[in-house]
Structure 1
Amino acid sequence: MRPNLRHTLFAAATLVAPALAQAADYLSIGSCPVGCAAYTWSAGIADVINKNVDGVEATAEETKGYVANIALMQGGELEASMATSLSAYEAYTATGNYAGTEPGKIMAWMAIAPVAMHIIALDGGPINTMEDLKGKRVGMGQPGGVSMLDANVVMNMIAGDDFEPFRIRLGDMIDGLSDGNLDAALWNGSFPLPPVIKLSAQRDMKLIPVEDDFFEALRAEYPPYFRLTIPAGTYEDVTVDTPTFGLANGLVISADVPEERVYLMTKAIMENLDTLAGIHPAFGNMSADTILNGFGSPLHPGALRYYREIGVPGIEDFVARTGG
């Protein structure tokens, strides 16, 4: 699949360069469908790497989502990708959704921001609480993406099979909401989500809060989820804080990428967070204090070297805890 992923941007290069040269020269960063925050992040990071690290040509790859990203990395078709902390741990240890795969191939790189479950509806519509999702037309996210798995968990707990699922990408879900073809859309992503900003500018929308009782039942079944809040003002129409839940979210990288290269790329990203914050506000909250948030799998040696160099708080405890 690697030639197909590269074809749009690097057709000539992939035709003439041997596989080992591609691995040394190119860095494909798996993200999600265009319009999602993770694609914006990947594109910004690729641009920073290209401008600051000699010998690397990075590109953001549109994919079906985080689940697909891990599979592509395990198949050698991506060098890096966006992932949740849960999927990063399971991929490294070959457990859970990745049981039976080769362990140790995918290593932690850097935390960016938490992903937050958005339950999106229109003002004046039939959805005012989570219970109202029963029997409704609900956007769930596309196959291959973590959001669809999270939406499945939510809807199974609320409604069992008493709803009509639409397993489509976020942009299509937002269009469906706006056109009246969906009653609600569920998406677990880092805020603000550009398509939701667009919806808020065009229609009166709202976010449905996740009640405490639901969250406690969810966490009892799925401990990696944690409580968080989407702040008031994140979207134009949402004037109150919205309680919800999420996972830690960040970058993972193949163990096969050379240590020196990862060191230089890590340094470039961390020294250009102000530039990246102009691309997406999530980068404005990144720092040495947050870079390890949520990870339970070992760091790539190149990233570990840089984090030790700048004195990331808790780095040695992290290494002892993860065995990295």
Structure 2
Amino acid sequence: MPQIARTTLALTVASTLAAVAVIAQAAEESDRSDWPNSITVATASQGGTYYVYGSGWANLIADELGISGGGEITGGPTQNMALVHSGDVALGLTTMGPAAQALNGESPLAPGMAMDNVCALFPMYETPFSIAALSSSGITSISEIPDGARIGFGPAASTSDTYFPAILETLGVDFERRNGGWSDLGGQLQDGLIDVVAFAAGIPIPAVSQLEVQTDVNIIEFTEEEQQQVIDAFPVSAFTIPASTYSTLDDDARAVSMWNFTIANCDLPESFVYEITKLSMENNDRMRDIHRSAANSVPENLEYNTVLPFHPGAARWYEENGYEIDPSLIHE
């Protein structure tokens, strides 16, 4: 081939590649044109797993997708459903029990309002329902909790506050109900202002880990009979707290649990939610760096959401990667 022809061909190829690059860049910018400039993740109170997980996840999204973002302290799963439904925040964390209540118009925050503009993204982890008391209290079992005990159930309207009082009432415990952030309740327990803390939070619970460094703590497990009684009465399943979770535990502890999922306002752009899901599901090592409970934040656990519709952006990533979702569980 003559030199002039080769030069002309090279220039043509280079021009074509440059044009393709410009078109690709323009398409990418177009795909992001409707993305939000910043995002907020609704978490829960400081001292709990939601706050650590949600804030870290918000920072991961911000760093990797080039938008500003952060976690917001809230009252937990029930309030997060309301905040995400209304669009006051873009993303949040919730538990399946409160999610079902909110979707059916049974949220204690807004009775009669069906919060149906909330979509699921991906599974987080199971929330164990666990109980702690100071060793000096002498309380080593649920049956030993004295009548009139002052029990902290976490923030008002949280998963713990919604379900744990009813669980303990079912098990015959008589108590005085106290609310507050997990860090605050841990301090009250240490100071003798309350007798027991009933946690519904991912493990290890930061407030408990901090508390057991400073004093002796009893992690109180359910008996087999108590566990089955609660499973029969509430939307929970059997769970075991591994002995390695806390230095206080010598053996695995029997408990019950409820699944958590990340959520998004259903009006968020599909391409934006696709990228969030892709980032979260393809980087589990980085998710575990945020909180070790994210070891369960994997697509294989999709089956534990039978309540909320999946956002189409999330559903697209799952389907592209070989995970099936019932079409009735994809938001239209």
User: Residue 150 of structure 1 aligns with which residue?
Assistant: 163
Unaligned 5+ segments in structure 1 are 1-20
1:179 to 182, 191, 199: 191
Moved over 4 A (4+): 95-99
User: Residue 215 of structure 2 aligns with which residue?
Assistant: 203
CA contact (8 A) 2:122 2:299 kept: no
The residue type paired with residue 43 of structure 1 is S
What is the SS of the residue equivalent to 2:144? helix
User: Residue 9 of structure 2 aligns with which residue?
Assistant: none
What is the SS of the residue equivalent to 1:120? strand
CA contact (8 A) 2:106 2:114 kept: no
CA contact (8 A) 1:88 1:295 kept: no
In 2, the alpha carbon distance for the partners of 1:268 and 1:322 equals: 22
User: Residue 134 of structure 2 aligns with which residue?
Assistant: 122
In 1, the alpha carbon distance for the partners of 2:94 and 2:329 equals: 17
Report whether the alignment pairs 1:322 with 2:329.
yes
CA contact (8 A) 2:219 2:248 kept: no
The residue type paired with residue 77 of structure 2 is Y
User: Residue 204 of structure 2 aligns with which residue?
Assistant: 192
CA contact (8 A) 1:113 1:249 kept: yes
In 2, the alpha carbon distance for the partners of 1:24 and 1:208 equals: 45
User: Residue 297 of structure 2 aligns with which residue?
Assistant: 286
2:143 to 131, 135, 157: 131
The residue type paired with residue 195 of structure 1 is A
> How far 1:303 moved relative to its partner?
0.3
TM-score (norm 2): 0.83
Identity of aligned residues (%): 24
- Listed one character per residue, the Cα deviations across residues 136-185 of structure 1 (whole Å, up to 9, x for unaligned) are 2211212131111122112322346x322221221122112212222211
User: Residue 7 of structure 1 aligns with which residue?
Assistant: none
2:243 to 232, 251, 255: 232
1:9-28 pair list within 5 angstroms: 24-28=36-40
User: Residue 256 of structure 1 aligns with which residue?
Assistant: 267
Aligned residues: 297
CA contact (8 A) 1:85 1:249 kept: yes
User: Residue 72 of structure 1 aligns with which residue?
Assistant: 83
CA contact (8 A) 2:186 2:208 kept: yes
TM-score (norm 1): 0.84
Unaligned 5+ segments in structure 2 are 1-32
- Listed one character per residue, the Cα deviations across residues 225-284 of structure 1 (whole Å, up to 9, x for unaligned) are 111011002011111111000100121111111111100111112232212212210123
CA contact (8 A) 2:94 2:261 kept: yes
The residue type paired with residue 74 of structure 1 is H
> How far 1:63 moved relative to its partner?
0.6
What is the SS of the residue equivalent to 2:203? coil
The residue type paired with residue 76 of structure 1 is G
What is the SS of the residue equivalent to 1:191? coil
In 1, the alpha carbon distance for the partners of 2:159 and 2:293 equals: 19
The residue type paired with residue 266 of structure 2 is A
CA contact (8 A) 1:110 1:292 kept: no
In 1, the alpha carbon distance for the partners of 2:87 and 2:209 equals: 35
